[in-house]
Amino acid sequence: MSSRAIEIILSRQLADCLNVPVFLVDPKGNLMFYNAPAEGLLGRRFEETGEMPMEMWSTAFFPTDEDGNAVPPEQLPLVTSIQKHVPAHKTFWVKSFDGRSIQISVTAIPIIGRDQEFVGAIAIFWDNPIDI
């Protein structure tokens, strides 16, 4: 198995140091890594799951708009960054695993390395202080 690109390894090292949820995905959208704060969103531990395909992680935290309609995967910022190689931002609602609805904002950016190669994307989640 090949080593990850250095930009991805460094992104994981950054994510490990942050106290907000971070997802790191490869160019196909597979979730390569999520940090400890992100385990609260997914309800799973990275050590237990390892990588996750996009179909699994994009629906695992039940994203909805403010009217309660499901947000399809292609409208999630991380998926936009993967598909279009552009930064993306969106605010939506997720159900936490204790049943609460939480408004979160997500900022995703593509990771383009020194070789000018698109090697994946990183998303940072911000909990907004509105609980219902």
Partner 1 sequence: MKVILHGTRGAYPTSTPANQKYGGDTPCIEVVHEDERLIIDAGTGIIGIDFDKYDPKKRLDILLTHLHMDHIQGLGFCKPLFDPNREIHIWGPGGSIYPLQTRLTRFLSPPLFPVILRDIPSQPKIHELGRSKIEIGSFKVSSAFIIHPGPTLGYRIACGGKTLTYIPDHEPMIGQLELYKEDQWISGFDLAFETDLLIHDSQYESDEYMKKIGWGHSSMQICSEFASRTKTGRLIFFHHDPAHDDDYRTKAFESFMAKNSFDFPIELAVQGKEIEV
Tell me which residues touch partner 1 (CB under 8 A). 1-6, 9-10, 12-13, 17, 33, 113-115
Q: CB 8 → partner 1: shortest distance, Å?
A: 8
Residue 66 Cβ, how far from partner 1 at the closest point, in Å? 38
Between residues 15 and 41, which has the closer beta carbon with respect to partner 1? 15
Q: Give the residue with the Cβ less far from partner 1, 6 or 20.
A: 6
* 84 Cβ contact list (under 8 Å, min separation 6): none
Q: How many C-beta atoms lie closer than 10 Å to residue 72's C-beta?
A: 11
Nearer to partner 1, 5 or 102 (CB): 5
At a CB cut-off of 8 Å and minimum separation 6, what does 64 contact? 70, 71, 92, 93, 94, 95, 101
Closer of 9 and 18 to partner 1 (Cβ): 9
CB of 122 to partner 1, least distance (A): 15
Helix (H) or strand (E) holding 11: helix 6-17
Output the smallest distance, CB 1 to partner 1, in A: 5
Residue 66, C-beta contacts closer than 8 angstroms, at least 6 positions apart: 92, 93
Cα 100 from Cα 43, distance rounded (Å): 13
